[in-house]
Structure 1
Amino acid sequence: MEVDIGNALDGALGLTETDLETLDESVATAHERIERGRRDRDHGYAALALPETVDTTAIRETARAARERAVGDGELDAVVTVGIGGSALGAVTLTDALAAGDTAAFALDNVDPAWVDRRLAEVDLSRTVVNVVSRSGTTAETLANFLVVREAMADAGVDWTDHTVVTTGDSGNLAAAAETHDLPRLAVPEGVPGRFSALSAVGLLVPALVGVDVDAVVAGGARAADSLAPSLFDCPAYAYGATAYALAERGAAVNAVLPYAESLERYAEWFAQLWAESLGKDGRGQTPARALGVTDQHSQLQLYRAGPADKLVTLVRVADGPDRPIPATDLDGLSYLADGSLRELLDAELRATEASLAAAGRENVRIQLERADAAAVGELLYASEAACVLFGELADVATFTQPAVEWGKAAARGLLGEPTDESEQVREKRELIVD
């Protein structure tokens, strides 16, 4: 993986290479803190040790046991993750990017009843494995959806205990259910916030169930871990994190992430949670915007190039992969497509977007993967996490906490019947209704 920060320099926000050289002293200090936290497995920093600590053998064996329990030697129709946020996005990102078989994989990560009913109707529940993920085992949305799935299985004449695997902490409702019903179970790693858990059992079980080489994913993460160095000029992850921080300090309040690969579209969603929940504190941070190249450049590029100069645009390129020739045509005006291919067109669109932004003085960074295979995606996820942690260190925010998220959870529980101070504030909402 490489990161090109050239187009982030000397643009509208005025960041220069000299500025980055000055910032590099702070990067070295932050690297020392990160390495110490990673070595000591401190809360949060333990995520950056996952390539060393994750037990892929246990994950693969649990996947095998869950599959055999559900379908024996038969075909697995679907794997459904019941979880929300970091309990689901890592698995979704990895399966969307890497799964190539016939087994569907998706997450019930919302409680919209029409959507939940539609998703469950799409699969054969008798040939489905349900992976329920919650560290506490008390997450309201996850437990509600789990109960809905259990009822749907009962209505279909399916024994839910034969089709359920649990990923949770040492105690709580899910841990108790796993023990009572002898369910296959994996542990949520200690000291790893959910949004940083993609390279743990939380993110890797579902990919293992659908045939992804999870050892290669972890090896890619290890490759990114090995590349961490005291200078942003020697480390792709730190180059990105430091540049994003420096631009944020100069007014880049938005970070628009455009993967130029359909298989990485959910990466932008995963990145959005990582960046927003980790860095949005004390008036600091960047608002992540999710987009997809080339699709969204036909609308959003107008804003990025000609709107407010308050954005960093992050383009993710995959250098090599499958291709398809563009058929010859005698239509007028299309001769420039002759002898071309879709990959060549995709790459031309990316380079044109970069040039368009740069010509307008709008800062952009290119993250490049050689190919979108298991090792490269694992490296991308780890490097993104390391970049986020570095940004947090430089901004002096509590990267691994999420007090605003917890406030919202407490408020929702209160509205459902558990008295909380937060719910009283919700009930006191000011209204000005126009109908």
Structure 2
Amino acid sequence: MKYELYFEYENKKAEKEAYDKVSNEYESGEIGYYHLPETSKKFKNIEFNTDYNEIVIIGIGGSSLGSKAIFEMTKNKYKTKKIIFLENPDPIDLYAKFKQITKPLFFVISKSGKTIETISIFKKVIKHFNLTKGSKNLKVITDSNSPLEKFATEWNLEIFNIPKNVGGRFSVLSAVGMIPLKAAGIDILQILEGAKNFRDRFFEKKEEHLLKKAAFYARNYKIYPINVLFAYATILNAFKEWYVQLFGESLGKNGKEIMPVGHIGSIDQHSFLQLLMEGMGHKTITFLKIDNFEINLKIPNINLPHLEVTDFVNGRTFEELINKECESTKEALLAKEYPIDEIIMDKLTLENIGELIMYYEILTSAIGGLLEINTYNQPGVEIGKTILRNKF
């Protein structure tokens, strides 16, 4: 993978401070996600009954977004079982998805073990699919000693624990993501290896672009309080949702924020680019692209009456079209003097997916450290939960 910064910024003091802060988190073991590439390897030996048609994940936010991001990126390239996500207590969505489920393996996932949306949907799943104590097609992923674990123990269900020092939005490389993805047939070792390789290079000071970017974002958050991720592939749609939670829940605290905005190119060029070109500015922009889609799908070399203006791409591949659209948009925004960076995946591989996840997690930690906030809590979310409880 390649990382390019298209802005000039020099602040070695801030870069060293960011490195020291994340290095201390890593070496002290205080924050657990750094070590998941090793600790999650134990899941490689777990065997699941393959006599299921679907993997069904019951979870929301950090319990589902990472798995969904990886599944959406891999489902068309690798042979996997279908994964259905039961996340939102939207009755129309739930009703439609229940009808798609034929022979499922269920995973109910909640770090706290009492997430209201998850447990409510779980109750409906139990009743609708006649699940009972000891059901072999029902697994639980939660914190040790959580209410959900206590339930699972009483029901004699298989339990996988989330490390206490791994927060939900940083948990995709833990049992939260790796167990369901392995059950779906994805080689999780390649994902973990990609994450490990990037982490090791970073702490060997071979990925200093990340520190420069973190320093720029943190030291200029009042000027540039919004980061736009422009991801140029439909299969990156769920990844941008994961990124939005990661940045939003981690970096919006104590009156400080870097607001994440996720878009898909080239679709959102037709809905958001106008604002970027002629709006107020004050945003950083990250382009994420796949250099080689590995599918040689060509635009036919045919001429249609009255549509000759489009013939300049005839005979070209769709890969060329989408990537040149990315380049053109980037050049247009550089001309507007936006601080821009670019992440280029040479091609879509499980190792690259693992690297991308670890890159964003370390970037988030580095920015949070420089902003002098607690990157890993979410007190603002808890208030809304209390208000909800009082409404019933």
- Say whether the fold is shared (TM-score over 0.5): yes
Structure 1 pair 202/329, CA: closer, same or farther in 2 (3 Å)?
same
Query: Aligned-pair distance for 1:339?
Result: 2.6
Count the aligned residue pairs.
Answer: 386
d(CA) in 1 for partners of 2:74, 2:90: 27
Structure 1 pair 285/96, CA: closer, same or farther in 2 (3 Å)?
same
Structure 1 pair 247/315, CA: closer, same or farther in 2 (3 Å)?
farther
In the alignment, what sits opposite 1:48?
Answer: 34
d(CA) in 1 for partners of 2:84, 2:317: 31
Query: Aligned-pair distance for 1:338?
Result: 2.8
* 1:232-381 matched pairs, under 5 angstroms: 234-249=207-222, 251-323=223-295, 324-331=297-304, 332-381=308-357
Matched position secondary structure for 1:161: coil
In the alignment, what sits opposite 2:198?
Answer: 224
In the alignment, what sits opposite 1:3?
Answer: 3
d(CA) in 2 for partners of 1:402, 1:112: 24
Query: Aligned-pair distance for 1:174?
Result: 2.0
1:275-311 superposed Cα distances (whole Å, 9 cap, x missing partner): 0100100111111112101111111011111111121
Matched position secondary structure for 1:319: strand
Is this contact kept in 2: 1:79–1:104, CA < 8 A?
yes
* 1:8-23 matched pairs, under 5 angstroms: 9=7, 17=8, 20-21=9-10, 23=11
Query: Aligned-pair distance for 1:247?
Result: 4.0
Structure 1: which 4+ aligned runs deviate by more than 3 Å? 157-160
> Cα RMSD (Å) of the superposition?
2.0
In the alignment, what sits opposite 2:13?
Answer: 25
Is this contact kept in 2: 1:89–1:270, CA < 8 A?
yes
In the alignment, what sits opposite 2:391?
Answer: 415
In the alignment, what sits opposite 1:422?
Answer: none
d(CA) in 2 for partners of 1:160, 1:111: 26
d(CA) in 2 for partners of 1:122, 1:158: 21
Is this contact kept in 1: 2:202–2:208, CA < 8 A?
yes
Specify the code of the residue in structure 1 equivalent to 2:314: A
Is this contact kept in 2: 1:227–1:235, CA < 8 A?
no
Structure 1 pair 132/326, CA: closer, same or farther in 2 (3 Å)?
same
d(CA) in 2 for partners of 1:292, 1:38: 33
1:200-246 superposed Cα distances (whole Å, 9 cap, x missing partner): 11111121111111000000100110121486x84243343233334
Moved more, 340-349 or 405-414: 405-414
d(CA) in 2 for partners of 1:244, 1:36: 21
1:121 lines up with 2:95 in the alignment: no
d(CA) in 1 for partners of 2:134, 2:269: 44
d(CA) in 1 for partners of 2:66, 2:228: 19
Is this contact kept in 1: 2:80–2:186, CA < 8 A?
no
Is this contact kept in 1: 2:290–2:345, CA < 8 A?
yes
Segments of 5+ residues of structure 1 without an aligned counterpart are 10-16, 417-435
In the alignment, what sits opposite 2:89?
Answer: 111
Quote the sequence identity (%): 26
d(CA) in 2 for partners of 1:166, 1:158: 14
d(CA) in 1 for partners of 2:363, 2:249: 14
Query: Aligned-pair distance for 1:30?
Result: 2.4
d(CA) in 1 for partners of 2:250, 2:348: 26
Is this contact kept in 1: 2:134–2:155, CA < 8 A?
no
In the alignment, what sits opposite 1:175?
Answer: 149
Query: Aligned-pair distance for 1:138?
Result: 1.4
Query: Aligned-pair distance for 1:271?
Result: 0.4
Query: Aligned-pair distance for 1:266?
Result: 0.7
d(CA) in 2 for partners of 1:366, 1:234: 14
Segments of 5+ residues of structure 2 without an aligned counterpart are none
Q: TM-score, normalised by structure 2?
A: 0.93
Query: Aligned-pair distance for 1:158?
Result: 8.8
Query: Aligned-pair distance for 1:102?
Result: 5.6
Matched position secondary structure for 1:162: coil
1:131-172 superposed Cα distances (whole Å, 9 cap, x missing partner): 111122111111111001111102xx8988232111011113
Which of 195, 207, 211 is the equivalent residue of 2:185?
A: 211
Query: Aligned-pair distance for 1:176?
Result: 2.1
d(CA) in 1 for partners of 2:17, 2:259: 26
Is this contact kept in 2: 1:260–1:294, CA < 8 A?
yes
Matched position secondary structure for 1:3: strand
Structure 1 pair 317/190, CA: closer, same or farther in 2 (3 Å)?
same
Matched position secondary structure for 1:190: coil
d(CA) in 1 for partners of 2:288, 2:366: 20
Is this contact kept in 2: 1:4–1:366, CA < 8 A?
yes
d(CA) in 1 for partners of 2:310, 2:275: 28
Matched position secondary structure for 1:365: strand
1:368-390 superposed Cα distances (whole Å, 9 cap, x missing partner): 11112111011001110100111
In the alignment, what sits opposite 2:375?
Answer: 399
Specify the code of the residue in structure 2 equivalent to 1:104: K
Structure 1 pair 414/356, CA: closer, same or farther in 2 (3 Å)?
same
Structure 1 pair 186/313, CA: closer, same or farther in 2 (3 Å)?
same
In the alignment, what sits opposite 1:164?
Answer: 138
* 1:31-42 matched pairs, under 5 angstroms: 31-42=19-30
Matched position secondary structure for 1:110: coil
Matched position secondary structure for 2:109: strand
d(CA) in 2 for partners of 1:255, 1:406: 25
Moved more, 87-96 or 113-122: 113-122
Query: Aligned-pair distance for 1:60?
Result: 3.8
d(CA) in 2 for partners of 1:252, 1:30: 19
